[in-house]
């Protein structure tokens, strides 16, 4: 009988008790610590566990091993040996007892011994690792083949019996015994005789058995080679391995490998089997001799490393995108100072390249803008700080430039291996633009490249943004930011973008102070109108993006603001002029480092032409009568000299409403009655003025206002003669109410967007208006305060500004809604002004304010070099004057030579006295051209002319002259200009008609008094220079 050889243990076999040479090497360090403790109170149990459930029919989620030391219990997963939870066990323990360990419900199944626990057999297919010297393993490998004992008695093999005292290495399966009549050399084992097989399978994670629907998660392949099952994904990646326990497999069989369930579909050939991750096809391995064992490693492998995904190979050091590719946009490399400050670990420097997905969509000026933004936020410019102001005019694509900057900083860094420059970005904007920003991200980058959170209703989005690394951009409104600042101030925001950043013009406002809680240094302001009123606003914006750059405001005011304003005042001394110009040049030079300003004229190569008109409309007789009642000269003196500023502002508001439509006075009357301001009504003579309005007047009646009459005629022409759509902009919702009632009366289809429109509906209205035709949506009623910034209304090609605001930026923003990327038609913009009224005074002040902004921002339009930036007391008194006999008071102030109306005026007619001009309503009997036009303070007229000098760029058209239509480019306005009624020429001979035409050439224009209300009396016209070029697909719809 051949000598007996100790069989090889399987993973389920217990370790021999009496063998002192066996010392298990524990795979779990926590179990190793358990072994070293006292065994008196140790308990080991096989259990079932689940998460706590409240449902009636509870199910167990898995098997586990419970180790109890004294009263301390630890629960392990029997599949992978990972610790699930710890807690206190209720002693004594018994079969079927329920416990709660670490929030898990546990049911005791059966108790096991400590040796079984330490052997690892209770942990599924995991094996005991026996630490043996390498020499002994090699010696054992040279032993004879195992021969099972037979009934015959034979002399035992001494050599093998000596070796039986030591246990052979552990292998996954017990090899089958041979038959007694077979020789070990001639008959291979069952494992050797099994042929390799390959199968296509479906797989899923283990699920509870009570699920009604079986859902498979993916496809894979398995191979059964040498009693070893290997699972590969479709790409050849090894998912798991196990021991093959069945000799035969059939289609439809279920297998469980590594915590996953597999369904065998069909057997495939080895050629159809995929490649492994190294690119080599998995082939059948040659079987080693059963007596040969592979030396086992002594190194301890922790479970977390054993089951972890193999580490990815390190990428070679280099830029994320090819810097040498054609049309690649490469950012500025770090300077020596930057490297010394930010690259202390001496990492390799790599180029930062704009993603080609965005680079090929950027226009030349946008590429320059992205480079400027990148250099500023990275600290590569001259100034101290990492902030900047992008002050491009509306329509130049500030949104796309900003998205490109954010995407570049989120993905790249100039120092290899240090991670991206930022991990999160915050965009703060008006609530109307929140959804527009989100749509722009999805448009240019898609929905999957960057995680965008929108915080417009509650703080849940802010909390998600702060806690989730996948949410990289948060878009929030200025008002909402104050309520969510606590959630995001510690999440590591690396970049702040403030859209329409001119809202930060006051450093003491709540909107500005909330940013002080954020420690972010990289800050960008986007604003098409950075300077709106004075240099103090500019200082607040600069101090936000680059704190301390211009020092504190008192020092800035003393050093820059006061000298500059003095130099621009009329009558300044030579010394003040020189000092002011010097300080203005210094401030402009500093601003160039962090302020980028480009004008919309550079879009001439990409957009259709734009025609702008300032339309002066003759007021109706009713409006003039109401003005005469309200502006009683005796009572106006009281308002200017004695009353408070609030009362004067209230009177200005009343005059503005009368200029728009007298019907608005009823709302003012009702408001004052509700607030018991009867005295204010009496002083303003509103009660008497309201009696002049016809009692049957309705809100939709536009015949009460000259401006509204002209607007109704314009809309009628557009509706009948074209298929274009129109945007009507107003600063007052009361004016929008009148226009909405008019649209209903005329059956004009329309959308309306104002402060009452839900934020979720605003972008929906804009999108619908842009995509539909005139029949579906003819008019878009827009409130300049709610939707005058940022939105794109390229579906309309005509825009009418009904009333003006004292802040020129509001009007400029509103008028830029149509002439933007994506516009296919020539754009016509009409600003309606009631001639001779407060409308013109507001417009004149806007021109003065724009002169200061253009001078500091370096605009080419600053050539006029206005010398006046604010109104004097005489200007404020002039606000309450109405000029009923002028076609355009603004043009009269210019003393423009285009009309040659006053070239023969006597020089001695000018009154150089400093007496104040009369205030209030000027009646016809008081008008004396010689005294009213020429006997005015000469210095005052000189100042007005200087402040309005920029209007010289416009074409001036007196619409009361005959045959003036040929000078107007707009076909619709050409049809609307005044045409005097002529007697029929049918009875006149040809000679008489020729003589009459010759005589009419030298006639003076018709006077303003002789034309009805609603007549267009004067026009300022300006057209953009357009170069016809093809509009590519990539150039559309940029903001």
User: Poorest-confidence range of 75-89, 121-135, 736-750, 849-863?
Assistant: 121-135
Quick one: 989 exposed, middle or buried, by C-beta within 10 A (0-12, 13-18, 19+)? exposed
499 and 384 both lie in a single domain: yes
Q: What is the mean pLDDT of residues 240-264?
A: 78
Distance CA 690, CA 721 (A): 38
667 and 576 both lie in a single domain: no
pLDDT at 186 over 50: no
Buried b or exposed e, range 212-234, using 16+ CB within 10 angstroms: eeeeeeeebbbbbbebbbbbbee
| 199 lies in some domain | yes
pLDDT at 356 over 90: yes
What CATH number is associated with residue 223? 2.30.29
Q: Which of 795, 824, 853 is the last residue of a domain?
A: 824
State the residue range of the domain holding 517. 367-549
| 765 lies in some domain | yes
Give residue-wise pLDDT tens across range 150-183. Answer: 555 444 444 443 444 444 443 333 334 344 344 4
Distance CA 763, CA 758 (A): 10
Give residue-wise pLDDT tens across range 787-843. Answer: 767 688 999 999 999 998 888 878 888 888 898 888 899 999 999 999 999 999 899
Percent of the chain whose pLDDT exceeds 90: 27
Helix (H, G, I), strand (E, B) or coil at 610: strand
Percent of the chain whose pLDDT exceeds 70: 70
Quick one: 184 exposed, middle or buried, by C-beta within 10 A (0-12, 13-18, 19+)? middle
| 445 lies in some domain | yes
645 and 735 both lie in a single domain: no
Strand 42-51 relative to strand 827-834, pairing: unpaired
Buried b or exposed e, range 42-58, using 16+ CB within 10 angstroms: bbbbbbbbeeeeeeeee
What six digits make up the tokens of 914? 């400093």
95 and 116 both lie in a single domain: yes
Number of residues that this document lists for the chain: 1039
Give residue-wise pLDDT tens across range 311-350. Answer: 777 777 889 899 999 989 999 999 999 999 999 999 999 9
SS3 content of the chain, % helix, strand, coil (to 5): 35, 15, 45
Residues 73/67, Cβ–Cβ less than 8 Å: yes
What CATH number is associated with residue 378? 3.40.50.10810
Give residue-wise pLDDT tens across range 635-644. Answer: 666 666 655 5
399 and 471 both lie in a single domain: yes
488 and 416 both lie in a single domain: yes
249 and 377 both lie in a single domain: no
Helix (H, G, I), strand (E, B) or coil at 844: helix
| 1008 lies in some domain | no
Q: Which of 549, 564, 585 is the last residue of a domain?
A: 549
Quick one: 953 exposed, middle or buried, by C-beta within 10 A (0-12, 13-18, 19+)? exposed
pTM of the model: 0.60
Helix (DSSP H) and strand (DSSP E) numbers for the chain? 36, 27
Q: Which of 98, 129, 160 is the last residue of a domain?
A: 129
Number of domains the chain contains: 6
What six digits make up the tokens of 518? 């954020």
Phi then psi for 668, rounded to 5 degrees? Answer: -65, -40
| 296 lies in some domain | no
What CATH number is associated with residue 817? 3.40.50.300
Distance CA 275, CA 397 (A): 49
388 and 484 both lie in a single domain: yes
What six digits make up the tokens of 858? 């370096």
Distance CA 512, CA 518 (A): 11
pLDDT at 257 over 80: no
Q: What is the mean pLDDT of residues 346-365?
A: 94
User: Poorest-confidence range of 41-55, 335-349, 509-523, 624-638?
Assistant: 624-638
529 and 579 both lie in a single domain: no
555 and 528 both lie in a single domain: no
- Closest among 681, 714, 511, 483 to 613, alpha carbons compared: 714
Residues 140/169, Cβ–Cβ less than 8 Å: yes
520 and 416 both lie in a single domain: yes
Q: Which residue has tokens 């049918």?
A: 986
Helix (H, G, I), strand (E, B) or coil at 66: strand
| 907 lies in some domain | no
Strand 495-499 relative to strand 425-429, pairing: parallel
Helix (H, G, I), strand (E, B) or coil at 912: coil
Phi then psi for 154, rounded to 5 degrees? Answer: -140, 160
| 715 lies in some domain | no
586 and 541 both lie in a single domain: no
Bridge partners, residue 799, by sequence: 727, 829
| 903 lies in some domain | no
């Amino acid at each position: 009988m051949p000598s007996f050889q100790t069989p090889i243990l399987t993973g389920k076999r217990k370790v021999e008790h009496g063998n002192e040479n066996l010392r298990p090497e524990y795979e779990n360090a926590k179990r190793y610590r358990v072994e070293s403790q006292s065994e008196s109170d140790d308990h080991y149990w096989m259990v079932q566990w689940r998460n706590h459930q409240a449902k009636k029919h509870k199910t167990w989620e898995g098997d586990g091993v419970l180790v109890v030391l004294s009263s301390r219990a630890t629960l392990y997963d029997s599949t992978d040996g990972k610790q699930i939870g710890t807690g206190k066990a209720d002693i004594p323990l018994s079969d079927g007892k329920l416990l709660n360990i670490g929030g898990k419900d546990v049911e005791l199944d059966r108790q096991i011994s400590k040796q079984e626990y330490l052997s690892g057999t209770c942990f599924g297919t995991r094996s005991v690792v026996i630490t043996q010297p390498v020499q002994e393993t090699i010696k054992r490998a040279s032993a004879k083949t195992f021969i099972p004992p037979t009934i015959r008695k034979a002399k035992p093999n001494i050599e093998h019996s000596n070796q039986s005292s030591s246990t052979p290495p552990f292998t996954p399966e017990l090899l089958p015994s041979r038959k007694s009549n077979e020789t070990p050399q001639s008959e291979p084992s069952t494992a050797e005789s099994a042929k390799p097989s390959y199968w296509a399978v479906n797989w899923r994670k283990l699920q509870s058995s009570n699920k009604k629907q079986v859902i498979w998660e993916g496809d894979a392949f398995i191979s059964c080679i040498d009693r070893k099952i290997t699972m590969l994904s479709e790409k050849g990646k090894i998912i798991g391995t196990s021991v093959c326990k069945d000799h035969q497999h059939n289609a439809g069989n279920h297998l469980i490998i590594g915590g996953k369930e597999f369904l065998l579909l069909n057997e495939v050939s080895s050629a159809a089997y995929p490649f492994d991750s190294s690119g080599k096809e998995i082939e059948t391995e040659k079987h080693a001799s059963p007596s040969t064992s592979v030396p086992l490693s002594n190194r301890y492998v922790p479970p977390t490393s054993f089951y972890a995904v193999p580490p990815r190979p390190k990428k070679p050091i280099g830029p994320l995108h090819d810097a040498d590719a054609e049309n690649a946009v490469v950012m500025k490399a770090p300077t020596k100072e930057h490297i010394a400050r930010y690259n202390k670990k001496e990492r390799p420097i790599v180029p930062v390249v704009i993603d080609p997905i965005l680079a090929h969509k950027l226009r030349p000026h946008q590429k320059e803008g992205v480079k400027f933004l990148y250099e500023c936020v990275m600290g590569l410019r001259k100034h101290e700080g990492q902030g900047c102001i992008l002050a491009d005019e509306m329509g130049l694509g500030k949104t796309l430039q900003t998205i490109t900057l954010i995407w570049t900083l989120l993905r790249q860094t100039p120092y290899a291996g240090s991670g991206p420059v930022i991990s999160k970005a915050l965009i703060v904007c008006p609530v109307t633009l929140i959804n527009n920003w989100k749509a722009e991200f999805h448009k240019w980058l898609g929905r999957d490249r960057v995680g965008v959170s929108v915080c417009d209703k509650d703080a849940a989005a802010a909390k998600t943004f702060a806690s989730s690394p996948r949410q990289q951009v948060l878009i929030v409104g200025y008002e909402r930011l104050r309520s969510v600042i606590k959630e995001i101030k510690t999440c590591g925001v690396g970049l702040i973008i403030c859209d329409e950043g001119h809202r930060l013009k006051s450093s003491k406002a709540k909107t500005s102070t909330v940013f002080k809680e954020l420690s972010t240094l990289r800050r960008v302001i986007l604003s098409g109108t950075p300077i709106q009123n004075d240099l103090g606003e500019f200082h607040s914006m600069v101090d936000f993006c680059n704190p301390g750059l211009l020092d504190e405001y008192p020092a800035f005011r003393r050093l820059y603001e006061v000298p500059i304003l003095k130099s621009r005042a009329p009558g300044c001394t030579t010394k003040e002029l020189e000092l002011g110009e010097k300080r203005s040049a210094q401030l402009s030079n500093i601003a160039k480092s962090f302020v980028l300003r480009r004008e919309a004229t550079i879009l001439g190569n990409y957009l259709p032409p734009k025609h702008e008109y300032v339309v002066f409309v003759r007021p109706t007789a009713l409006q003039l009568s109401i003005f005469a009642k309200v502006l009683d000269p005796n009572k106006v003196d009281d308002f200017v000299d004695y009353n408070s500023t609030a009362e004067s502002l209230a009177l200005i508001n009343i005059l503005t409403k009368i200029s728009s439509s007298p019907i608005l006075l009823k709302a003012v009357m009702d408001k004052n009655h509700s607030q018991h301001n009867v005295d204010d009504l009496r002083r303003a003579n509103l009660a008497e003025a309201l009696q002049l309005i016809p009692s049957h007047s309705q809100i939709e009646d536009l015949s009460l206002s000259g401006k509204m009459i002209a607007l109704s005629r314009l809309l009628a022409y557009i509706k009948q003669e074209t298929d274009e759509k129109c945007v009507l902009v107003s600063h007052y919702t009361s004016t929008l109410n009148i226009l909405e009632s008019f649209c209903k009366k005329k059956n004009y289809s329309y959308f309306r967007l104002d402060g009452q429109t839900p934020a979720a509906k605003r972008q929906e209205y804009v999108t619908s208006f842009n995509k539909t035709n005139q029949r579906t949506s003819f008019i878009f009623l827009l409130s300049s305060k709610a939707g005058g910034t940022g939105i794109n209304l390229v579906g309309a090609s005509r825009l009418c500004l009904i009333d003006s605001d004292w802040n020129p930026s509001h009007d400029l923003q509103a008028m830029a809604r149509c002439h933007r990327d994506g516009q296919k038609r020539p754009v016509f913009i009409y600003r309606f002004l009631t001639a001779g009224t407060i409308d013109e005074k507001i417009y004149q002040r806007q021109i003065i304010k724009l002169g200061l902004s253009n001078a500091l921002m370096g605009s080419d339009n600053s050539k006029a070099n206005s010398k006046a930036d604010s109104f004097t007391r005489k200007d404020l008194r002039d606000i309450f004057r109405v000029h009923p006999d002028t076609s355009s008071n603004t043009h009269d102030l210019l003393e423009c030579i285009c009309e040659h109306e006053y070239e023969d005026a006597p020089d001695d007619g000018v009154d150089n006295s400093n007496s104040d001009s009369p205030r209030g309503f000027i009646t016809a009997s008081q008008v004396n051209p010689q005294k009213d036009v020429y006997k005015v303070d000469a210095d005052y007229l000189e100042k007005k002319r200087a402040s309005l000098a920029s209007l010289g760029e416009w074409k001036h058209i007196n619409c009361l002259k005959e045959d003036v239509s040929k000078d107007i480019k707009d076909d619709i306005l050409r049809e609307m200009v005044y045409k005097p009624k002529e007697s029929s020429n049918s009875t006149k001979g040809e000679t008489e008609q020729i003589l009459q035409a010759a005589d009419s050439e030298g006639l003076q224009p018709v006077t303003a008094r002789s034309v009805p209300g609603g007549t267009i009396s004067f026009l300022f016209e300006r057209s953009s220079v357009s170069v016809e070029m093809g509009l590519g697909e990539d150039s559309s719809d940029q903001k």
